[in-house]
């Protein structure tokens, strides 16, 4: 499940009410809460948040405003942006036509496949240029880069050598987003800042 950083403390209070006061263990990626009845809750820190020793520090770090780079790519659409806290301060969306698959066989199918591949490559090249122009100048101010959409498309964009400093900031979290649009980019900020929680009930 995903929880807004501002609601983490309240969520933990509810967990304690249901299962008993938990003990807290610091993990490399967040915190592990272990309740008296054996239930556990693993809190995954949002990208850009460093390791914290306890719940108070975790909540403070998760809610603190951070500059986050965003790169969303799917098919022929790409959206890049920079968020300062919850506000999108830099953004650009670009769409390039990529032909869909065809049911035709033989030579026609091969011709359409080649055309589709060329269109996809051109779209990803445009996406890399967009990232170079908008994100690369901001790289020194970013705490992390959160990507979303199609993993293979994102991987290809970040293989551009010019984007190596940006790729070094890439978070493990991959956002599941539809075809990138500005509204999708804005919504991605919430998903990028969310605390992921994995609950295991007592056996």
In 3D space, the residue among 178, 173, 179 whose CA is nearest the CA of residue 191 turns out to be 173
Complete domains list, the chain, with CATH = 2-65+194-200 (no CATH), 67-191 (3.30.420.60)
Give dist(CA 43, CA 26) in Å, integer.
10
Give dist(CA 187, CA 88) in Å, integer.
10
CB atoms near residue 172 (< 10 Å): 10
In this predicted model, what pLDDT tens digit does every residue of 123-160 receive, in sequence order?
A: 788 889 999 999 999 999 999 999 999 999 999 999 99
Average pLDDT, stretch 16-21? 95
Confidence grade of residue 102 (pLDDT, cut at 50, 70, 90): very low
Confidence grade of residue 97 (pLDDT, cut at 50, 70, 90): very low
Report pTM. 0.87
Confidence grade of residue 103 (pLDDT, cut at 50, 70, 90): very low
Give dist(CA 27, CA 5) in Å, integer.
18
The per-residue pLDDT for 75 is 76
What is the percentage of the chain residues whose pLDDT exceeds 70? 86
């Amino acid at each position: 499940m995903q929880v807004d950083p501002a609601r983490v403390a309240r969520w933990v209070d509810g967990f304690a009410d249901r299962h008993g006061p938990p003990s807290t263990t610091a993990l490399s990626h967040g915190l592990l809460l272990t309740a008296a009845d054996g239930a556990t809750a693993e809190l995954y820190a949002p990208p850009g948040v460093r390791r914290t020793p306890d719940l108070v520090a975790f909540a403070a770090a998760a809610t603190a405003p951070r500059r986050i780079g965003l790169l969303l790519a799917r098919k022929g659409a790409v959206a890049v942006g920079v968020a300062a806290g919850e506000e999108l301060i830099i953004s650009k969306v670009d769409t390039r036509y990529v032909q869909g698959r065809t049911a035709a066989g033989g030579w026609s199918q091969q011709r359409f496949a080649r055309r589709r591949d060329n269109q996809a490559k051109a779209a990803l090249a445009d996406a890399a240029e967009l990232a170079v122009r908008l994100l690369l100048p901001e790289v020194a101010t970013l705490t992390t880069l959160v990507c979303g959409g199609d993993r293979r498309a994102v991987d290809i964009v970040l293989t551009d050598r010019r984007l190596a400093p940006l790729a070094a900031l890439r978070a493990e979290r991959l956002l599941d987003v539809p075809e990138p649009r500005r509204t999708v980019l804005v919504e991605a900020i919430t998903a990028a800042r969310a605390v992921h929680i994995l609950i295991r009930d007592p056996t």
